[in-house]
Structure 1
Amino acid sequence: MSQSHQNQKGFTLVELLVVIAIIGVLIALLLPAVQQAREAARRMHCSNNLKQLGLALHNYVDTHGKLPASSSGYGGCVGDAVNGEIKNANGLVALLPYVEQQNLYDQFNHKEAYSISSSHQKATGTIVGDPLTNGNAALAGTELQAFNCPSDNNPTKGRLVGGAYGPGGSFSGAATNYDFVVYCSLEYSTCNSYVTQSSTSKRMFGADHNTKLADVVDGLSNTFMMGETTKYHVNGGAFAWSYRSWVMTGVDPYYNGTNGGINIWHQPQVDHPAWQSPPFVPIRGRARSWWCATASLHPGGCHVVMGDGSVQFIPETIDKATLFNLTAMADGNVAKLP
């Protein structure tokens, strides 16, 4: 017995510490690669979501001959609501049957309002029905994988509540990472502005307007159709997939010659005294480029769906002139993707 114990060998403390140190170094070397692999998988998933939405839009056109309006009866703009009716409908709802959500689509009351922006209604008109009793406000909280990018770790629910951003009452809306490309400053400032704006500045989508693919004279493969956004907007809440509320108009990659852009976490031109004191500290993933940010948590840029349904990754370093040419559908300047 004693001879057997004497022949056994074990690790010394120094040897054990060396082994632990080596394991620690290997983990430190492997961890970035593992994280990159995970983000690559999330990015592919996100790209596939947008690909399905691009196909859904083209299937919608095959059925109806035109694209859905970005919103219908938006009450957050200034002026007269179309036909005097405020419904606050997000055009994404029209795509539900084309992303295998026909059952959910059938549960909505499409003849009545989808939300009530009780504290920020600017448009003149009558709210059609009551989303608190017609079921639309409750359905607004449905979280849909088709509208969520797994790279965005912001919560899908929690910010879309209350009189400004919620669907109404105590109900909470579910956010989307994808929305239509619109001329957001006009969509917000002037009701029914799409029909009167210059053709050279029009995007593929507008409120209460159904664009036809033939209207995209710069070419479908050269024009943005949908884009990514984050589920946390610093100047705003986020975008709900089922309804429109205060400063919910759609995404605008360009905005104007000074503002906008891709993955802007802090845009100094977004000037409001209450937001500057104390000095604003940018946080990646919390967009602060007006209220219609085109952004993602993918390193270096974000995805967009082109008019032909293809998905492209747009770098955040893209110059503004090219960004405008890709955003406008009929400005006469055909831009190449970077």
Structure 2
Amino acid sequence: MTTGILSETVLEFPDNRLLIDLCGEFDRNLTDIESRTGVQILRRGNQLAIHGSEEALADATQVLQALYQRLEQGRAVGHGDIDREFRMAEDHTDPDEQLEMFTGGKVEIKTRKKLIEPRTDAQKAYVRSLYQNEMAFGIGPAGTGKTYLAVAVGVNMLITGAVDKIILCRPAVEAGERLGFLPGTQEEKVDPYMQPLMDALNDFLPGKQLAKMREEKTVEIAPSAFMRGRTLSNAFVVLDEAQNATTMQMKMFLTRLGEGSRMVITGDRTQIDLPRGVPSGLADAERLLDHIPGISFNYFSSKDVVRHPLVAAIIEAYEKDAEGA
């Protein structure tokens, strides 16, 4: 260690092949870590010398060691994994101790195409609640993974046989154009509303398999109004954009829950598109159901946004404006 404001620490990695993967193509991963912490990282054989302040050294060291451990376990390391480790470092918690479940202490969701890992404590708690509760609410701003993680858990439960089908719904709230005036069949008219759910499914299931599942009704995607009169048994059911369901629509949807099913309701209270004066069913559900065993409410903030960093900044700006209004 050198004395003064700046210090140096040296990390040694026994497997040079894994060290190459840790550094990334053209040392891209090291550059990412340097920009986040302000340290300088120099490679010397199978060692990494890190220069910076004591606090920055500690953060960079923790992240590098966690990423190398991932590589030893046969996992890849990309930008998202670096982001996840930094978020965990900021929370100062041990994710294995905080949330030990299903995968030997790691919080993972296995799908046909990829392995999904929550990046924040709120996301991990949310995933846990999806497995442990028959009904779970995920409430928070855009980009926090509410729907994405719910669909991933649904796919995992389907391919492991925990449920027989996945049903994904959204309120088809009109914005300027009425569905009846749009060209095409009924399915073609509602497809634009359902596209975000399809995007998530396409991330987790091969295209041909997904097409076959939709044809066989193992996977259904439909407006929430189409659920009226049904009892949804042995299914993983997701209601997305629930802030746009009225109180009566929400009650109708929630009472579709059948034996052997899981139901997830996601929404953002700041993005209500209902006509002025029409109350959101999501707010009523929070008020009426939070004391019922078996129903969990999970909340996200701008800190949990995992899209482009600007998204978090935009959400924070709007939140501050709303607080000052």
TM-score normalised by L of structure 1: 0.21
Compare the two structures and name the one with the higher strand fraction: 2
Compare the two structures and name the one with the higher helix fraction: 2
